[in-house]
Amino acid sequence: MQAASVSQSMQSVERGALRARHAELGGLLRVAVMEGDEARIRRLLSELLRGQGLSKAQRISVQLKALLSLVQSLRCATVTDELTGLCNQRGFVQIGTRLLDVAARDGSAVHLVCFEVNDLARVVEAMGPTAADVLLRQ
């Protein structure tokens, strides 16, 4: 009876250690994604998936999905202003071009609007970058 109890305790400790390692790997993986370190992403993801008992094919499938998600995130980051969440100039041109092409093909009207804050550099100079950020968010 006591041997079974010790065995259960050991299994519980092992599960806790595994959960802690998965949490650690998850944190390291998030940092690697934010830094765009693809080699480290692959290594950490592989280690994380190996610990979950997945076959090599399953690990490759999960890694591929994760990398495709990363590519999509990076594409989004290149066309979006980080502060406002709105399209930056590159995004405006890409989306505008597509909308104009669709409108021309369908014979429909389309309206594109672009806003610019005049003298933003003066706001930064006079009130600081935080004030300029607040102005842009409004």
Same domain, 49 and 90: no
Closest by Cα among 68, 106, 76, 82 to 94 = 76
Same domain, 37 and 74: yes
pLDDT at 6: 66
Same domain, 69 and 87: no
For the record, the structure tokens of 17 come out as 């250690």
CB atoms within 10 A of CB 42: 14
Chunked into runs of 10 residues, the chain (138 residues) has average pLDDT values of 68 76 82 82 80 76 82 85 87 93 94 85 90 85
Q: What is the largest CA-CA distance in the chain?
A: 81
pLDDT at 105: 95
Closest by Cα among 100, 99, 82, 81 to 91 = 81
pLDDT at 101: 94
Same domain, 67 and 21: yes
Q: Which domain holds residue 137?
A: 81-138
